[in-house]
Every structure is written in C-alpha cells, then in structure tokens.
Structure 1
Amino acid sequence: MPLKTLKLAIKHRKIAEVGLSWMGGVYNKFKDDGIVLDKKRQVNFVALDMNSTIFKDTYLNGEWVWAYADVPGTYIQQFGDRQQGGFLDIVQPIKKGKMLGWSESVLNLALRIEYADYNVGNFQELGLKIADHMYAIVPAISFRPSSQTVIRANYRYERHTDLLRNPASQTAGFQFGFSTYF
C-alpha cells in the first residue's frame, strides 16, 4: 500500500526555512489470496528540517526524524518500534567564479554531523537503555561546475555502538561522489 505524506514549511527570507513533515501508512503484507495473515501494521515518520544562511554565505541544512513502527509483540526487543536520528550540514563556499572552463563554479568546504538511534528505549527486563546507535562526522570538499551538478570528496569517521553496549566499532574511509540533475 502506498504511504501518505504531508509537509508544512515556514520561511523567513532573512532567517531560515523550517519544515515539519509526516509520512505514514501500512507497511506489511496483511492479506494474501483473501486470507488474513496479520493485522495492518502502521509505520509513521515525523521530520523537522531547516535550512538557513549565516554570515552571508555559510549554508546550514539539517533534519531530525522520529520513526514509529507497529512491531508485533512477539518479536524480541532487537526489532525496535522507535527510531530517531538526524544530521547537520555546514557548507562554506571558498571560491566562486570561473574555474576549469565553467563560468559560475563554486568550490565548497563542508562538514556533516550525523546521529542515528536505531532502537530508542530501554530493555524491559533490566530498564537499561538500549544502545544501538551511530555517530559520524564527515568533512568534505565539493566542486559545483553549475548549480545542478556536484563532485564531492568526503572523509567519513563513524562510531557504532551495538544493541548490547559492546565497545563501539570505529570505521573511517574516503567517499567520492558525482550527482547531477538534468
């Protein structure tokens, strides 16, 4: 079944745009050939996002999302029914103008901070907080030959703590990307 979505945004040209959105609906296969397999289980996402410009040309873009899923009561607590997470991007242009033959290019430095909690809540038996979460910090450099195209190089550093609070795993690596709209 298709999910439904709603969005409301408020913008002040000199300060920021702030949006509130919702997406939700039935996510499971509840019937097959007329036989009821399960009840209709809902999933809902609520997001708060914002974008702004500070110091004349430093761009901020962020989002925080809460997710709620109707998980069967017979599932173990590893299958969390609530999640949350978000990011904040800070993008600073360092050079604008003609570069490499493109007349309106932009070279940017960026920093992205991320957090995701894949299982919000406490264990029922002990009351201890479930620790299935991730933090990441991602510095980057990007080149925009036009407003619709970007070539980007990132260095991603991430710490992930598992469900049982084992010491966090740490990963890091370089990412390269290309994106364009036409």
Structure 2
Amino acid sequence: MAKSKWNTVKDKLTLVEGWARDGLTELQIAHNLGISKATMEKYKKEHSDFLYSLKRGKEVVDFEVENALLKRALGYQYDEVTKERIVRKDEHGKILTDIHGFPTYEMVVTKTVKKEVAPDTTAQIFWLKNRKPEQWRDKRDIEHTGNVTVNNPYKELTTEELKKLAALDDGDG
C-alpha cells in the first residue's frame, strides 16, 4: 500500500487556499501538491480542513469576479497615466550618475487623463439572467390550467367519407 501524503499536504493548507484564490484549478492544485486528482477528492472527503481551505480560497475569487462583472456592467472611470523616463539632475542641473558614471533615470508622470468605460450590455444581460432568472431568462415556463377545446368539423365523418374528402383535395375526384 502506498504511503499517504496527507501529512505533507496538511502543512500546505495556507498554500492551497492561496492557489485557489489565485484561480488555479483543482487539477493544478493537486499537481502542485504532488498528488493525483483522485487523492485530492479523497482528501476533500476525509479532511474537512482541506475542503475548507479550497472553498475559502475560491470564495474570494468568486467575489472578485462578481465585482468585476458588476463594474463592467455599470461602466466606470479610471485615470490613464502617462510616464516618461528622464535623466536625473541635481538642483544645479548637473546629470546624476551611478557608480559606473552612467546617467541615472527616473520615471515622471507627464500626463493624466480621466477615461470612461461605457456600461457593457452583454455584462448587464449576463448579470440579470443569473441574478433574476424569473424575469430575465430567455426560456419561459408557462403552465396551463383548465380545459382545451378543439373544434373539429370532421369528427362525425366516417373513414370512407374522410378518404373521399382527401381524394377531392388531391384533385383526383
């Protein structure tokens, strides 16, 4: 029988949570732990602290994605910052150099522009269909109660009479 790796895995529960928070799949997490996906499933069933670490990590990512989707659906503003690399100078205008005599540089903000991202209708539709499916899903379930009456003018005719009518329709009669 193979030796269990649980003792090694249980020391890495903080890592497991972090990997889940970073968006790694369970297969990737199992690989990082040096275990198979089947062993991971076994540990999830047998060790609640392992399952809890996975779930807690995934929750954070789910909230971040929900927030990003909502932000995209509503639109938002941001500052676009342009920076330029310039040669550093002292207060007298002399170029500052490093220990090898090469000029030193620094990044300086040269322009800031407020930009706007328009609301995204696809994100809005996705949000509404998932958050309010009763009002927004494409498929509607309609339940009919009561009786359905059908007016069939041919219900009293015999099979022979129906055949004669069908032959007339074909233009043969």
- For the criterion TM > 0.5, the same-fold answer is no
Larger RCO (CA under 8 A, 6+ residues apart): 2
Scaled by the length of structure 2, the TM-score of the pair is: 0.21
Scaled by the length of structure 1, the TM-score of the pair is: 0.20
Query: Of Structure 1 and Structure 2, which has the larger fraction of its residues in helix?
Result: 2
* Greater C-alpha Rg: 2
Query: Of Structure 1 and Structure 2, which has the larger fraction of its residues in strand?
Result: 1
